[in-house]
Amino acid sequence: MHATDAPRSQWSTVTLAVLGGIVVALQVGKVPPAIPALRAELGLGLVEAGLVASLFALLGACSGVPLGALLNRRGPRLAMTAATAALACGAVLGALAQSGAGLLLARVLEGFGFVGIAVSAPRLIVLASLPRDRTLALGLWGTYMPIGMALAMLVGGPLVALAGWRWLWWLASAAALVYLLAFQWLGRRFVLAPEPPAAPLADSLRSAFRRPGPWLLAGCFGFYSLQFFAVATWLPTYLSEAAAFSASGAAQWTALVVAANTVGNIVTALLLHRGMARAPLLLVAYLVMAATGTALLTLALPAAAKLLLAVLFTGFGGLLPAAVLAGAALHAPSLRDVPTVAGASVQGANLGNLLGAPAMAAAVSLFGGWAAAPALLLGCCLVGIGLTVCLAVVERRLSAAR
């Protein structure tokens, strides 16, 4: 056999899976720039507007593990197709909604599509990549959320101001529909690794969660995402109040801050691919987030310095998602159990997303303004560091047993 005949990872399939995640993240990021217009046109109260933004996180926090285990029994093609169809239909229904209730129902459908793709795409990536490339491929998967959210926030503000929020929904639904068609067309060419027969659902759950690894991955992701989404949600408000940014300027800069998270994800994927251990990356992420988050919210600094701190916060924070998501294959009992373990990480992350913004709001309002917010960030970092130490011990034992 010639060298050119050696088996290779299907990077086109990996790319297609990551693009599916980006389409999902567009549906997450389209809401923040549209909230004022949604409230004005549909008469949404603060609670309803908050639900429109947080339903994805609520569904992810409640259904990541069970939906991952259910999709575990279906092939990744079918699971991705069904999830993308739900996402596209929900986006279309949202664009047509004439009331707050109609929009919320549409977001529920979108939310199930979000969770479905978030737990199915890692399995598709695992089956399309060789073992030597699997860590890199799963690490690159971690870039989907910051890329998609940043794109939606960058485009969403000007588009809503120019044409209204419905056009933003139509654009996001078009992206989902185009992806669905592309997945159906390109999916015929997939040549995936064979999988073992599906185990009974209860056995799959037991085999995955009697191990400490999935729980530790979920906890690390949750305490990271609580911080990340709290800062991403309230950074425009903070920049407007503390650094005299205009509302539109603060939103645009926040989109760039979120985009910096992508750099950390890519760096992590490359470092893990070269053999670096997961725990040091997690520790660096938590330590830098603690330092930069505290400085950002407490020190009297020029606006440019605050932006730099925010970029460092999200950029170094980006070391964590890729590291956690790349661990799904290591901690799953078998390749077929990857969606279940990925579902645990999704559930942990979305629990953090759900709690992050209200937790920071409570800290700011109850304990004396923005200077009180770093206590929340520091607490999350300390717990995350403890979980990381435990994860390092577990992974050292796994490596020794192989």
- The 10s digit of each residue's pLDDT in 309-365 is 999 999 999 999 888 888 877 777 776 677 677 777 878 888 888 887 778 877 877
Lowest pLDDT segment from 169-183, 270-284, 324-338: 324-338
- Amino acid at site 154: L
Question: Residue 194: is its pLDDT beyond 60?
Answer: no
Q: Give the C-alpha separation, 286 to 220, whole Å.
A: 10
Question: Residue 380: is its pLDDT beyond 90?
Answer: yes
pLDDT classification of 220: cutoffs 50, 70, 90:
very high
Cα–Cα nearest to 190, from 75, 67, 87, 73: 75
Question: Residue 277: is its pLDDT beyond 80?
Answer: yes
Lowest pLDDT segment from 42-56, 94-108, 297-311, 323-337: 42-56
The pLDDT of residue 34 is 81
Give the torsion sign (CA, 83, 330, 324, 393): positive
Q: Which residue has the tokens 């070391």?
A: 319
Residues belonging to the chain: 402
Question: Residue 203: is its pLDDT beyond 70?
Answer: no
pLDDT classification of 190: cutoffs 50, 70, 90:
low
CB atoms closer than 10 angstroms to residue 272: 21
Q: Give the C-alpha separation, 106 to 229, whole Å.
A: 23
As given in the structure block, the two tokens for residue 20 are 């599916």
Question: Residue 195: is its pLDDT beyond 60?
Answer: no
Q: Give the C-alpha separation, 35 to 53, whole Å.
A: 8
Tens digit of pLDDT for each residue in 97-139?
898 888 888 888 888 888 888 878 888 888 888 888 887 888 7
Question: Residue 4: is its pLDDT beyond 50?
Answer: no
Question: Residue 184: is its pLDDT beyond 70?
Answer: yes
CA 88, distance to chain mean position in Å, is 19
* Domains of the chain and CATH, by start: 9-187+199-401 (1.20.1250.20)
